[in-house]
C-alpha cells in the first residue's frame, strides 16, 4: 500500500491545478476540470467505484463504493479538493528523502533549504520518508495528499472484501483555496449522513471548529484641492482610510492573535486623495463576537460620516462562512467516531480549532456535518512544503477505520 500511495501522490502533484480568484467560471481553471476527467475519473472507475460522475454545475467528481454489509445503517462521505494555492504550481518536481536524519535538506538547485533551525517541525519526522519540493514550486500536498489517501483507502477496501463497510461516497472538488469550492456543493447528489474533509495538516488533527468569516470592502470618498489652499477644504481619502483603520482595536490583528482569538485583517489598501479602498477580512469563533465585529465596522463608518457631515465612508459586508461547530455539536458522532479510530491506531487525536475555514464549513451548514481530519502536509502553500509518507499512510488507515467502524461503539 505504501508504494501505491506514493506513486499515486507523485502522479497527482505533477498536474498543475492551481485555482484562479479572478476567474468567473466554475471551476476557476480548466486544469482542474482536466484533472478530474482525465486523471481521477478513469482511476476511480478502475479501482471499482461505481456511478462515477462529473457535475458540471459545481466541478465535483463523485463516486461510490457500494456497501458490502447490511449491518451499516449510515452512509459516510470523504471529500478533498483538487486545486492548489496561489504559488507556482507548474513543473512540480518532488524530492524523496528516505530515512530523514534531522539535517537541513537542500531543495534541488534552487538555493533554498528546508532547515530544522527555521522549521523545527522537521524534528517530528526523524527516520521517516519525506516528500519535499525542489524549491521552485509548491508541492501540492494541500490537498493532493487528501485525494491520494482517499483513493488509496477506497482501493484497499475494494481489494479486501473481508473488511465490512457501509456505502461510501467520495467527492473531489475545485476552488477550495479561493474560498468558493463548496458554494455549489450538491448535497442531494452526495447523499450521505455525514462526511469528512481530508484536508488537515500534521498527524492526528481532528477539527470541527472553524472561524466564522466575513469580508469588508470599505470605500473612502475624498475631496481633492490644491494642497497649498487645502485648509478647511481638502478631504484626503487616504487619510480617512488610515483614520478608520486606527479606530479598530490595535490588538485584534492576525499577527497578534492565536487560539480562539479573532481579528480584523487589512488585506489591501489602495487609492488616492480623491478615493481610496480598503479590503478587510473579519474572523471569530464566537457567533456573538463575530456579529459585534461587523457591527463595529458599520458604527465606525457612521461615526466618521457624522463628523464629516456627509456619507464619505461606505462599508460593504459579506459573510463568507460560519463556524461549523454550530452544526456538528448537535450530534458529535462523526467526531467521536474519528477520535476512537485514531486511538485504536495509537494516533493521538489533536482536537483544535482551525484558524481558517474548510469546505466542510459550508457543507455542514448545507446539511451534511463534515469535520476535518489530517492529510499530513506541513508548511503548505509555498516552496518549503513537505509531507511525510508515513503520516499519509496513517491517514489511509484512519479512512479505512472510519469506513469499517462499528458505530455502536460511539457515544453521541
Domains of the chain (ranges, CATH numbers): 2-209+323-409 (3.40.630.10), 212-321 (3.30.70.360)
- pLDDT, position 412: 54
149: CB partners within 8 A, 6+ apart: 5, 80, 198, 375, 376, 392, 395, 396, 399
Kindly report the backbone phi and psi dihedral angles of residue 251, in degrees, each rounded to the nearest multiple of 5, phi listed first. -85, -10
pTM equals: 0.90
Place of cell 492565536: 258
Do β-strands 275-284 and 263-271 pair in parallel, antiparallel, or remain unpaired? antiparallel
Catalytic residues: 83, 176
In this structure, the number of other CB atoms found within 10 A of the CB of residue 24 comes to: 6
> Distances in Å between the alpha carbon of 106 and those of 63, 93, 193, 382, 402?
40, 13, 46, 15, 38
Tell how strand 60-65 and strand 50-55 pair up.
antiparallel
pLDDT confidence of residue 163:
96
Q: Is 250 exposed, middle or buried (0-12, 13-18, 19+ CB in 10 A)?
A: exposed
| Per-residue pLDDT, 411 | 60
| Beta-strand runs (E) in 30-94 | 50-55, 60-65, 76-81
Distance CA 376, CA 80 (A): 13
Distance CA 337, CA 101 (A): 35
Which of the 8 DSSP states describes residue 36? I
Cell of 223: 475631496
pLDDT tens over the chain, length 412 residues: 899 999 999 999 999 999 999 999 999 999 999 999 999 999 999 999 999 999 999 999 999 999 999 889 899 999 999 999 999 999 999 999 999 999 999 999 999 999 999 999 999 999 999 999 999 999 999 999 999 999 999 999 999 999 999 999 999 999 999 889 999 999 999 999 999 999 999 999 999 999 999 999 999 999 999 999 989 999 999 999 999 999 999 999 999 999 999 999 999 999 999 999 999 999 999 999 999 999 999 999 999 999 999 999 999 999 999 999 999 999 999 999 999 999 999 999 999 998 888 899 999 999 999 999 999 999 998 999 999 999 999 999 999 999 998 777 766 5
Return the axis-axis angle of helices 141-159 and 2-13, rounded to nearest 10°.
140
Look at residue 410 in the predicted model and tell me its pLDDT. 66
Amino acid at each position: 500500500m505504501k508504494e501505491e500511495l506514493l506513486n499515486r501522490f507523485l502522479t497527482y502533484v505533477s498536474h498543475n491545478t492551481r485555482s484562479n480568484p479572478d476567474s468567473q467560471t466554475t471551476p476557476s481553471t480548466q486544469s482542474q476540470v482536466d484533472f478530474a476527467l482525465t486523471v481521477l475519473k478513469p482511476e476511480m472507475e478502475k479501482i471499482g467505484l461505481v456511478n462515477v460522475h462529473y457535475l458540471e454545475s459545481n466541478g465535483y467528481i463523485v463516486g461510490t463504493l457500494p456497501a458490502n454489509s447490511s449491518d451499516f445503517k449510515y452512509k459516510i462521505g470523504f471529500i478533498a479538493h483538487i486545486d492548489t494555492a496561489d504559488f507556482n504550481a507548474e513543473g512540480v518536481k518532488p524530492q524523496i528523502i528516505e530515512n530523514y536524519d534531522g539535517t537541513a535538506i537542500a531543495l534541488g538547485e534552487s538555493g533554498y533549504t528546508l532547515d530544522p533551525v527555521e522549521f523545527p517541525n522537521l524534528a517530528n519526522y526523524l527516520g521517516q520518508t519525506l516528500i519535499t519540493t525542489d524549491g521552485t514550486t509548491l508541492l501540492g500536498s494541500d490537498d493532493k495528499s487528501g485525494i491520494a489517501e482517499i483513493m488509496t483507502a477506497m482501493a484497499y477496501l475494494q481489494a479486501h472484501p473481508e473488511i465490512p463497510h457501509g456505502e461510501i461516497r467520495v467527492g473531489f472538488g475545485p476552488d477550495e483555496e479561493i474560498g468558493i469550492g463548496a458554494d455549489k456543493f450538491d448535497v442531494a447528489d452526495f447523499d450521505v449522513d455525514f462526511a469528512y474533509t481530508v484536508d488537515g495538516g500534521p498527524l492526528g488533527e481532528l477539527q470541527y471548529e472553524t472561524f466564522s468569516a466575513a469580508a469588508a470592502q470599505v470605500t473612502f470618498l475624498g475631496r481633492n484641492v490644491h494642497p497649498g489652499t487645502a485648509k478647511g477644504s481638502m478631504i484626503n481619502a487616504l487619510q480617512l482610510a488610515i483614520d478608520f483603520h486606527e479606530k479598530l482595536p490595535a490588538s485584534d490583528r492576525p499577527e497578534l492573535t492565536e487560539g480562539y482569538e479573532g481579528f480584523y485583517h487589512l488585506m489591501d489598501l489602495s487609492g488616492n486623495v480623491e478615493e481610496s479602498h480598503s479590503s478587510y477580512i473579519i474572523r471569530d469563533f464566537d457567533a456573538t463576537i463575530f456579529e459585534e465585529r461587523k457591527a463595529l465596522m458599520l458604527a465606525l463608518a457612521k461615526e466618521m460620516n457624522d463628523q464629516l457631515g456627509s456619507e464619505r465612508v461606505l462599508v460593504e459586508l459579506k459573510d463568507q462562512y460560519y463556524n461549523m461547530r454550530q452544526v456538528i455539536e448537535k450530534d458529535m458522532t462523526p467526531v467521536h467516531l474519528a477520535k476512537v479510530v485514531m486511538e485504536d491506531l495509537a494516533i493521538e487525536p489533536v482536537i483544535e480549532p482551525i484558524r481558517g475555514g474548510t469546505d466542510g464549513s459550508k457543507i455542514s451548514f448545507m446539511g451534511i456535518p463534515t469535520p476535518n481530519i489530517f492529510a499530513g502536509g506541513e508548511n503548505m502553500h509555498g516552496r518549503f512544503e513537505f509531507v511525510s509518507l508515513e503520516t499519509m499512510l496513517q491517514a489511509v488507515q484512519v479512512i479505512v477505520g472510519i469506513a469499517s467502524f462499528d458505530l455502536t461503539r460511539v457515544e453521541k
